[in-house]
Amino acid sequence: MIKTLGESANTISRIQTCFKELSVRGEGALVGHLVVGAPDLARSREYIRALIAAGMDAVELSIPFSDPITDGPVLQDANQRALNAGTTPLAIFELVKELRRETSIPIVLVTYYNPVLAMGEEAFLKRGLETGIDGVLVLDLPVEEAASFLSHARRYRVDTIFLATPETSEERLKAIAAETTGFLCFLLPYGMDRGTQLETSLQRVRALVPSELPLVAASEGSGLASFATFIRAGAQGAIVGNALAERIAAGISPEQLREFARELRTSLRAGSPVAPPAPANEVPHLG
């Protein structure tokens, strides 16, 4: 059911419900990330459906952008191919509307700020509500400059997701967490997706942000062993993006992508359990 403006401020969002249910079962979330439109919109639709059929807990759908500075080379290439195919934000909203009739898993829209500015913050988030988007991550919108966006997001009941890195200061990390209502995306640079550095970084973040806020790790690398490692190190979820983009660029079929995602999901569930959830009465609608 799509959220409406009349819902209570204490409403638990689809994203929060997902993480809460997984945490009760001692499982981490696997979030699939795709640049929509690579190689074209029709193929993207098939790939997204394949991920949903494979049991992904949530999907991130990225609006292609001409200067994706936050992404590594694999996703940068996917952005360019999607733009070359003529993919537009409005087409992606329509795709989300179609997908929402087929699935109840959380759908997160990932974008840079320029498409939001071009449409207008309120119009962008209102359309998000109408099409069934659960959360938005604006990669280049710092929390210090997000007051207007956050106000509209609260009005239209769209969860806000922000990025943090191992270099994020304690003060800024707390400020980011205070405005994050879906999950906190912790971006690990290439090479820091395993070992003691990973554990130390995740433990530091986990100690500084509210216990009820899910921490989801993403890496610039694509090592498949990393995803279960994130969960064992204390994250509540892992984002798989580069590994999917590499296979899509190589021409993998939707059926093959579904099998790959299914194996990945099975492997993640077989890993060590995540940290126990906070008591039910300590899980409010953040923000």
Q: Note whether 162 and 137 are within 8 A (CB).
A: yes
Q: Range with the lowest mean pLDDT among 88-102, 111-125, 221-235, 266-280? A: 266-280
Strand partners, 6: none
d(CA 88, CA 80): 12
Catalytic residue list contains 159 = no
* Rounded average pLDDT over 261-275: 71
d(CA 233, CA 178): 23
Q: Note whether 19 and 29 are within 8 A (CB).
A: yes
Half-sphere exposure of 181 (CA within 13 A, CB side): 24
Q: Note whether 116 and 138 are within 8 A (CB).
A: yes
Select the more confidently predicted residue: 282 or 47.
Answer: 47
Write down the catalytic residue from 27, 57, 60, 121.
Answer: 60
The predicted pLDDT at position 282 comes to: 34
The torsion region of residue 234 among left (phi > 0), alpha (psi -120 to 50) and beta comes to left
Per-residue pLDDT tens digits for 232-247: 888 999 999 999 999 9
The predicted pLDDT at position 230 comes to: 85
Write down the catalytic residue from 71, 134, 193, 220.
Answer: 71
Q: Which of 107, 43, 34, 106 is nearest to 64 (CA)?
A: 34
Per-residue pLDDT at 3 exceeds 50: no
The predicted pLDDT at position 34 comes to: 97
Tokens for 7?
Answer: 């819902």
* Rounded average pLDDT over 153-171: 96
Catalytic residue list contains 140 = no
Per-residue pLDDT tens digits for 26-78: 999 999 999 999 999 999 999 999 999 999 999 999 999 999 988 888 899 99
Per-residue pLDDT tens digits for 188-228: 876 665 667 888 888 899 999 999 999 999 886 656 666 78
